Copies of this chain bind each other. A is one copy, B any other.
Amino acid sequence: MRWLKLTLAYDGTAYAGWQIQPDQPTVQGTLQGAWREITGEQVRLTAAGRTDAGVHALGQVASVATESTIPNDELCRALNARLPYDMAVLAVDDARQSFHATYDAVSKTYRYRIDNGRIRSVFDRQYSWHYPRPLDAYQMQVAGQALVGRHDFASFETAGSERPDTIRTIFRLVVARGSDDQADFITLEVEGDGFLYNMVRAIVGTLVRVGCGARPGEWVADVLSARDRRRAGQTAPAEGLFLVHVNYG
């Protein structure tokens, strides 16, 4: 038995999320199917972040234990030859024994894209949230710093999650408007040691309330300390969210 680390990119538009489900196209199910065709093995791939329906990945990481002796490069090529064009294996690397993509992650980085143009960008419709009201990215950036550090993020967790503990650490949160031909786009990038269910999307929905002028920047700290989901902004739509990078230290 050997342990492997797979780095993956996928366009989440056509998938009901990472996690395998009966009668639904899922990222995990599609990958495990391709793996079985190549190796004959029925493996279980574990992802660093179980992305929801419509959420994308630029650098998802999955761990797998295998009996296959196919060289890593060949495995990578064979998987890409079988996967649909909206998924790609970027790398297959050896990992230490018992490597676990979720538990061994030191931090994860997510990106959220807002299309803030008056008229939607037709090419970004599946890769951004079209929010046509003017947004002040600088105010969002300043207000968002209240969330950096170790906090109880209960106000930013969608109910129904099984996670017993709502304390997480955000290492970095940056909101910026693009330049040149990206000037209509606002990007939020956030790195943390873990994220509650829909946490990034609730942060985006909250900062947008500040960005459009409906709430002052100080309101974000009030939302955080309330530990009450009803106090925060809406859950921003899935299609703007990307899992960018997983750091294993």
Which residues of A are at the interface with B, using a C-beta cutoff of 8 A?
Answer: 9-11, 56, 76, 80, 85-90, 119-123, 125, 127
A sample of 21 cross-chain residue pairs with beta-carbon separation below 8 angstroms, ordered by A number, consists of A9-B121, A9-B122, A9-B123, A10-B122, A11-B122, A11-B123, A11-B125, A56-B123, A76-B119, A80-B119, A80-B120, A85-B120, A85-B125, A86-B122, A86-B125, A88-B119, A88-B120, A88-B121, A88-B122, A89-B119, A123-B127
A86-B130 Cα distance, complex, nearest whole Å: 13
Given A9-B122, A11-B125, output 9 extra A-B contacts at Cβ < 8 Å. A9-B123, A10-B122, A11-B123, A76-B119, A80-B119, A80-B120, A85-B125, A87-B122, A88-B119
**What residues of chain B lie closer than 8 Å to A119, measured between beta carbons?**
76, 80, 88-90
- Which of A56, A85, A120, A122 has the largest count of B CB atoms less than 10 A from its CB? A122
Q: How many copies of this chain does one complex carry? A: 2
* Min C-beta distance of A242 to chain B, whole Å: 9
> Sorted from nearest, which 7 A-B pairs have the closest CB atoms?
A85-B125, A11-B122, A9-B122, A88-B122, A88-B119, A86-B122, A11-B123
Give chain B residues whose Cβ lies under 8 Å from the Cβ of A87. Answer: 122
Report the separation of the CA atoms of residues A86 and B122 in the bound assembly, to the nearest whole angstrom. 5
**Quick one: which of A9, A76, A123, A125 has the most chain B CB within 10 A?**
A123
Closest to A77 in B: B119
Inter-subunit contact B85/A122 (CB<8 Å) = yes
| A85 partner residues in chain B, CB cutoff 8 A | 120, 122, 125
A6 to chain B minimum Cβ distance, whole angstroms, is 13
Expressed in whole angstroms, the Cα–Cα distance for A7 and B86 within the complex equals 30
Closest to A123 in B: B11
**Nearest-Cβ distance from residue A124 to partner chain B, whole angstroms:** 10
Q: Which residue of B lies closest to A130 (CB)?
A: B85
Chain B residue at minimal CB-CB distance from A83:
B122
Chain B residues within 8 Å of A123, by CB: 9, 11, 56, 127
Chain B: CB-nearest residue to A119: B88
When distances are taken between beta carbons in the complex, the residues of chain B under 8 Å from A121 are 9, 88
Residues of B within 8 A of A9 (CB): 121-123
